[in-house]
Amino acid sequence: MTGSILFEAIVFLLGAIICVSIAKRLGLSSVIGYLLAGVLIGPYVLGFIGNEGEDIMHFAEFGVVVMLFLIGLEIEPKNFWNMRKTILGMGGLQVAGTMLLSYILFTSLGYDWKVALVISMAVALSSTAIAMQTIKEKGLMDTTFGTSSFSILLFQDLIVIVMLGIMPLLGHSDIVSSADNHKEHVNLLDKLPMGFQTLAIILSVVLIIVAGKYLIVPMLRKVAKTGVRELLIAAALLIVFSISFLMEYVGLSPALGAFLGGVVLSNSEFKHELESTLEPFKNLLLGLFFMAVGASINFIVIAKSPLTIGGILLAIIVIKAAVLFGTGYVFKLKLDQKLLLTFGLAQIGEFAFVLLSFAFGLNILNQEQMDMMLVITALTMSLTPIISIINERLILPRIGTKESVQRPMDHIAKSQKIILVGFGHFGSTVGRFLRSHGVEATILDQDSNRVDFLRKMGFEVYYGDATRLDLLESAGIAKAKILICAIDNPSVTKQVTKMVKEKYPHVELMIRVKNRYEAYDLLNLGMENIYRESLETSLVLAKDVLSKMGFRKHTLNRQVHNFIKYDEEIIRRLAKELKPGNDSYIFKARQELEQQEKFLNEDFKRGIVEFDNQWDSEHIKKALEKTKD
Amino acid sequence: MNKILVLFSHPKYEKSKVNTALVNHIKDIEGVTFHDLYECYPDFHIDVEAEKGLLEAHDIIIWHHPFYWYSCPPLMKQWIDLVLEFGWAYGPNGNALQSKTCLNVITTGGAREVYCSEGTNSFTVNQFLRPFEQTANLCGMKYLPPFAVMGTHTLTDDQLANHVIQYGKLIYLLQQNLELNDFNGCFFLNDIPQLQPQ
């Protein structure tokens, strides 16, 4: 419409802000909002973004690149090795199964075997961007579904290297150079003979690993020494950009290189620094990426042959879903986890864009085939969040109820006096300590695999979503004395405790919260027993620091007690000052800062702690001297 | 009627049959405040101001504790260290406890016979309790002889029941503000005529 970069930026940002906030208000994933924004501003609806959509997509792919770098950072090679069975097993099964079925589909539709092979490679891959974003948003990373998805996606990210390596062997390299005018960047590989191409790929992977150890880490150390924060941001971006450039130069997926780079750096001391630095870039770029996907849906291609595309689209989703379900079955996932996995990964991923255009460049695919597959890919990605909603709102609730009813009622009927909700890192410690005193709490957890595992260990753990009152009721809330809420997610905690306080006021609530801010919230709802998970640990650390500086431990211990008491007093006082009814994030963040300021002011007024006079004869000596005078 | 504060300290109360029986008999009597130190301050972090308030609100203070290594359990010593402040309980202007009454109620494993110059413990219980006696003196309190349940290792149920009833009677007598002279000449409050079976 207009070439102005500013105008485009405004269109994108406005689209994102409007659509994502609408999606969030409707309780949908932000991915849906972004995709919708993309469709709206794209060439076929409002037309703000025209052909430049492709360039934007190219730019926005950096979001995926940065995301994979971050994912790589989180996987230390050791963990990677520990997960090898799930990664290879689940991932291998999924990719092989999907490729086989879709190869059969496309050859039976009359496609050439090379075309069918390339397309089925693309189909086998799922979208790391969409799946991981959704999983993280819902806080499901710790569940079996989360780790299974992660393993499968990781395997796919790895297998892409092989696919990209194989593809040149399928192509007709002599025709390539003439038809290659659509590619702006130069591929080093195009000029090399075929055997060398594979070698170059292997070499570049090795290069990243070596450079990570001997070049990047020393560089980061130098940068960190300067103490200039934005230099570190620059360095982080430089790393990601250089790796991407290198990978593109040899014709590989930049995302993959970034992932490798991340893994290499995950053992370095800069892991967390890099993570926090790149996180905001990742989120914005990913949003842009999803919008670009939405904008790239070519409605003309769809309009030309809606039935064919619709049919293939449906077939692909069914194939992917069936294979994922089967994989879940082989690896003995619970039904609910299996369904989450099935619908969560049943789309074609962003790597397909890379694979398909690479194959197009190699003249394996023609323009029509590529356009069709690009449209289908974008459509499957757009459908995923919608399918997931159907699964979560319509299918899972029924299954959830069934599973909890199927559990033997006699155990729940024992109605222990204590109910423990959430059996993660926090809750499991609580449960173990109670159990070591012969107190068996009724435990609720929403990861059915964990439930089964813990039951084997002899724990009384029940499966279900604690925000459902009927489940709490069948767990014996009516007769319970205490409900321990050890849930990780603040909004779920609020929901559960509010509900129990309202319906069963006799039950004493003992609540784990993450921080002061969550504590304010619950204090204002009238909750009493609130346990901030970071308070005591941070004081123990501070105490040890002072001890190392020469303060005596016993005195410090007493001061820690005083500090906790003092902190609890302020928190109760400041909670009242918070204005209720303002839930918006920005407002909260600003209030948080104001509160922090008040805390520091209170500390300042209190001054350096006056040590008490206990076991101190100084003041006695002084007083006695006074009486002599 | 005198208000009585029982400062009870026992690190393993739930395992002590004798103290459970003694405490259960007296803790709910009207005008008696039973204060379980190990339950209130499991981490030894005594709230000094609260304790001072309690002391001010009562006329008779009972240190009720088992006799460990010829003394009290550590939390009670901590209580004495922290609560009886200079300038409040003793020293210049330290007269908050003036004219209150104070005594030890103790349980000992060894019988009365071993606490004498010829016995294995060489000294009498009264001698071992001198630090408490002098603590009371310094704070201007009247110090009474101890009420002691001794030989708990070999105590029969009947004997225990007798001690429990005696403890209850003692509390009643203390509430009625008996003259100090009534107790003179006793090594143990257990021996005063009012507590003997009629």
Query: Is-contact A115 A364, C-beta < 8 A?
Result: yes
The pLDDT, as a whole number, for residue A48 is 76
Least CB-CB distance to A614: which of B43, B82, B92? B82
Note whether A558 contacts B: Cβ–Cβ < 8 A: yes
Residues A138, A478: Cα–Cα separation, whole Å = 29
Closest-CA residue of chain A to B83: A614
Q: How far is B9 from chain A (nearest CA, A)?
A: 20
Q: b/e map of A76-100 (b: 16 or more CB within 10 Å)?
A: eeeeeeebeebbebbbebbbebbbe
> B84: nearest CA in chain A?
A614
pLDDT above 60: residue A585: no
Nearest CA in chain B to A625: B92
pLDDT at residue A174, rounded to an integer: 44
What local confidence, expressed as pLDDT, does residue B184 receive?
60
Mean pLDDT of A448-473: 73
Nearest-neighbour CA in chain A from B88: distance (Å): 12
Rounded distance between C-alpha atoms, residue A289 and residue A60, angstroms: 5
B45·A619 Cβ contact <8 A: no
Bridge-partner residues for B64, per DSSP?
A: B8, B105
Instruction: Look at B86 and A6; give whichever has higher pLDDT.
Output: B86
Dump strand ranges (E) for A415-460: 418-421, 442-445
Provide the shortest C-alpha distance from residue A327 to chain B (in Å). 53
Q: Which residues from A are below 8 Å from B92, CB to CB?
A: 623-624, 626-627
Domain positions in chain B:
4-195
Distance set, CA A519 to CA A406, A567, A571, A592 (Å) = 37, 12, 8, 12
Higher per-residue pLDDT: A252 or A548 = A548
Chain B nearest C-alpha distance from A558 (Å) = 7
Is pLDDT of A613 > 50? yes
pTM for this model (two decimals): 0.52
pLDDT in tens, A71-127: 778 776 777 777 788 888 999 999 999 999 999 999 998 888 888 999 999 999 988
Residue B132 burial by Cβ neighbours in a 10 Å radius (0-12, 13-18, 19+): buried
Residue pair B141/B61 in contact (Cβ under 8 Å)? The answer is yes
The mean of the pLDDT values for chain A is 78
HEC string of A240-254 equals HHHHHHHHHHCCCCH
**CA separation for the pair B120, B105 (Å, rounded):** 22
Cα–Cα distance, B3 to B1 (Å, whole number):
6
Q: How confident is the model at residue A176, as a pLDDT? A: 41
- pLDDT tens-digit profile of B97-141? 998 999 999 999 999 989 988 889 999 999 999 999 999 999 999
Mean pLDDT of A496-513: 92
β-strand partners of A462:
A444
> Residue B19 — pLDDT band, cuts 50, 70, 90?
very high
* CA A220 to each of CA A262, A274, A275: distance values in angstroms, whole numbers, following the listed order: 14, 10, 14
Domains, chain A, in order of start with CATH, read 5-170+184-267+276-399 (1.20.1530.20), 408-606 (3.40.50.720)
Contact call for B86 and A627, based on CB within 8 A? no
DSSP A526: T
* Mean pLDDT of the A376-386 span: 83
CATH no. for B4-195: 3.40.50.360
Is the Cβ of B50 closer than 8 Å to some Cβ of chain A?
Answer: no
Tell me, what's the pLDDT at A382? 80
State the average pLDDT over residues A433-443.
83
Chosen for mutation from A562, A620, A626, A628 (greatest number of chain B CBs closer than 10 Å) is A620
Label residue A285 by pLDDT band (50, 70, 90).
Answer: confident
**Does ipTM top 0.90?**
no
Cα separation of A334 and A396, whole Å? Answer: 12
pLDDT tens readout for residues B23-72: 999 999 999 999 999 999 999 999 999 999 999 999 999 999 999 999 99
Given a cut of 70, whether residue B150 has pLDDT beyond it is yes
What is the rounded distance in angstroms from the CA atom of residue A37 to the CA atom of residue A19? 6
Task: Tally A–B CB contacts below 8 A.
Answer: 21
Q: From the list B81, B91, B92, which residue is nearest A614 (CB)?
A: B81
What is the band of A543 on the pLDDT scale with cuts at 50, 70, 90? Answer: very high
Q: What is the DSSP letter of A187?
A: P
Tokens of B90: 């003793």
Angle separating helix axes B157-175 and B17-26, nearest 10 degrees: 30
Residues making up chain A, counted from first to last: 629
Q: Give A-chain residues touching B82 at CB under 8 angstroms.
A: 614
Percent of chain B whose predicted confidence (pLDDT) is above 70: 95
